[in-house]
Structure 1
Amino acid sequence: MDLREAQRLQYCCSTGRVPFAVEAFEAGFLPGNREDSSYQLTEEHTNVDLPSGFMDNDYEDPDLDRLLEKFHEREPRVAVIGDAYTREEAEKYQDTIDDLADEYPYRRFIVAPKCEAAFEVLDAETTTLGYANGKSSVQAEDLGPVKFRGWNVHILGGNPIDAYEAMQSLTQPTLDGREPANIVGYDWNGPLRMAYWEYWTPDGWQDNGHLTPRETARRSYQEIKQYLQEKDVWPETEPRELYGEAVEEPDFDIFMDKGGDPIPSREALETSYVREYEEKGTLAFESESQMKFIEYREGLTPVG
């Protein structure tokens, strides 16, 4: 059965470090990471610009103050605030979201209910329910999918097949005519966790053979996207359409400071220096010092 009214996701997230986050973003995913880690962009990633898309909480070691510190630092578009195992936790998270919603409009704040009382406390106007579908000790199914109907819901974890089955259970018509859930997002870190060994396909995990870890992750992202597209739930607008490309492309595939030598790889471009000039367009340099020297020697005027 198709999802009710062929509902599409608003976004599909993937957590991971560079270069995996670049691969996810370029495949159409909203990149992100857990609060206790980052993309780990270093000085080497001089030509990589990833948006602050998704921030997950460390559900095994939750700390709201630590999470808020990271939220204010990164200002992600989507954030998992916490898992509410008690009414008191749900109240604390809702109070936090009420404050954040005033300061950060147009963000999505997620709380994963882990007790029935949480549904009574959380506010559907400001809070999206996290549907625990991965490794958590309390899964959404333990509470019953019916409790999530009528809410905005983000599927937390699970491979794409399991996630799609969850979407079906939350949106298919019921005998008593209950309102379906509005599935807004889905995230899974499987491609990152398995990138050194396997890539995901609808037929199961496949050995990466001769592929590098980065190529393996890329294959997983491609397979996931194709699967969700075939199910007609892939987002109509991909994050890169909103934020622009993560890696700037020069007008010429050469390093200007290497005598016109070709840029040997994607990885080399990500660690290069790319700048637009009024006189010559967008150029790439391998070295920052040589870039500045050539700018001086040629009298180049940077744009912006």
Structure 2
Amino acid sequence: MEGFTEGFLVGNREDSSYQLTEEHSNVDLPQGFLDNNYEDPDLDRFLEEYEKREPSVAVIGDAYSREEAEKYQETIDVLSEMYPYRRFIVAPKCDAAFDVLDPGSTTLGYPNGKSPVQGEDIGPAKFRGWDVHILGGNPHDSVEAIEKLTQPTVDGREPANIVGYDTNLPLRMAYWEYWTPDGWQDNGGMSPRETARRSYREIKSFLQDKSVWPDIEPVEIYGEAVEEPDEFLWMDDGGDPIGSREELESAYVDEYVEKGTLVFKNESQKKFIEYREGLEKV
């Protein structure tokens, strides 16, 4: 939620839940990014989750051989027909993968995080001329990778087209520290949500300063994740005002013909007020 609010496309790994619970009854986050479990890859499991979540960006897998690259490209050929206007990423981990993957449908993942094979090991030059997504890493490392992939070369080689960068650092460190361009800072007793929010804001500002932030943010495409009532009042509690963003996220909000958008503390009270007032939903 904090990442989406600050302008990031949110998602998760295919072997993990989406981390939303019944407590977030008024939150509707788009599952925009789906990563694979590179330490335990399973294409069938991944595809099952892809069909459930239908993300706009998906990391299909890591190609350590020509055979794996061929398998992933065949998968992308099918997916791109079924799910047009999506981005499918394969991380090449061998030279042969570049000969098999199709630049017309496939984005290259540039390994930049914890993978045993890094993009630097393969050679940034091989990624030039492709659409490239930076896979993981510290924001400083990501900017350094972008510079290597796009800076002018003496032979005039075409730069890579950087289309994305992902990192889970703000969530991994949210109990202790937040990221800044000058290093990790103690959160000083802030909650994990506050700490993550600070990291996202710092990372966004850093990338904007480096001119690598996109012109359009996900909220402009998907809309707000939290529905706002016309008046910030609990309709079922004598008009007491909502006290925090967290309360609104756990509320029950609906739109009615005569009353507009109303907010309720829980589902049972929502149903009771709807019955008592004869509210008609839009």
Tell me, in whole angstroms, the C-alpha distance in 2 between the residues paired with 1:281 and 1:30.
30
Matched residue, 2:176: 197
Matched residue, 1:278: 257
Tell me, in whole angstroms, the C-alpha distance in 2 between the residues paired with 1:72 and 1:288.
30
Matched residue, 2:166: 187
Tell me, in whole angstroms, the C-alpha distance in 1 between the residues paired with 2:64 and 2:177.
34
Matched residue, 1:10: none
* Secondary structure at the counterpart of residue 33 of structure 1: strand
Of 93, 101, 105 in structure 1, the residue corresponding to residue 80 of structure 2 is 101
Residue 242 of structure 1 and its aligned partner are, at CA, apart by: 0.7
Structure 1: state its 5+ residue gaps: 1-21
Task: Quote the sequence identity (%).
Answer: 75
Provide TM-score, normalisation by structure 2.
0.98
Tell me, in whole angstroms, the C-alpha distance in 1 between the residues paired with 2:73 and 2:18.
28
Of 14, 32, 38 in structure 2, the residue corresponding to residue 59 of structure 1 is 38
Paired AA for residue 75 in structure 1: E
Tell me, in whole angstroms, the C-alpha distance in 1 between the residues paired with 2:31 and 2:262.
26
Residue 265 of structure 1 and its aligned partner are, at CA, apart by: 1.7
Matched, 1:90 2:90: no
Alignment length (residue pairs): 282
Q: Where do 1:43-58 residues align within 5 Å?
A: 43-58=22-37
Tell me, in whole angstroms, the C-alpha distance in 1 between the residues paired with 2:134 and 2:142.
7
Structure 2: state its 5+ residue gaps: none
Matched, 1:293 2:272: yes
Paired AA for residue 274 in structure 2: E
Q: Please give the per-residue CA displacement for 1:4-31, whole angstroms capped at 9, x wherever unaligned.
A: xxxxxxxxxxxxxxxxxx1100100000
Tell me, in whole angstroms, the C-alpha distance in 2 between the residues paired with 1:231 and 1:171.
13
Q: Please give the per-residue CA displacement for 1:208-267, whole angstroms capped at 9, x wherever unaligned.
A: 002100000000000000011111111100000111101111111121101111212211
Matched, 1:30 2:9: yes
Residue 44 of structure 1 and its aligned partner are, at CA, apart by: 2.2
Of 61, 66, 72 in structure 1, the residue corresponding to residue 51 of structure 2 is 72
Residue 43 of structure 1 and its aligned partner are, at CA, apart by: 2.3
Tell me, in whole angstroms, the C-alpha distance in 1 between the residues paired with 2:200 and 2:154.
37
Q: Which has the higher contact order (CA 8 A, sep 6+)?
A: 1
Residue 112 of structure 1 and its aligned partner are, at CA, apart by: 0.3
Tell me, in whole angstroms, the C-alpha distance in 1 between the residues paired with 2:222 and 2:43.
28
Paired AA for residue 232 in structure 1: S
* Secondary structure at the counterpart of residue 41 of structure 1: coil
Paired AA for residue 18 in structure 2: Y
Tell me, in whole angstroms, the C-alpha distance in 2 between the residues paired with 1:302 and 1:189.
39
* Secondary structure at the counterpart of residue 82 of structure 1: strand
Q: How large is the RMSD of aligned CA atoms in angstroms?
A: 0.8
Tell me, in whole angstroms, the C-alpha distance in 2 between the residues paired with 1:159 and 1:38.
24
Provide TM-score, normalisation by structure 1.
0.91
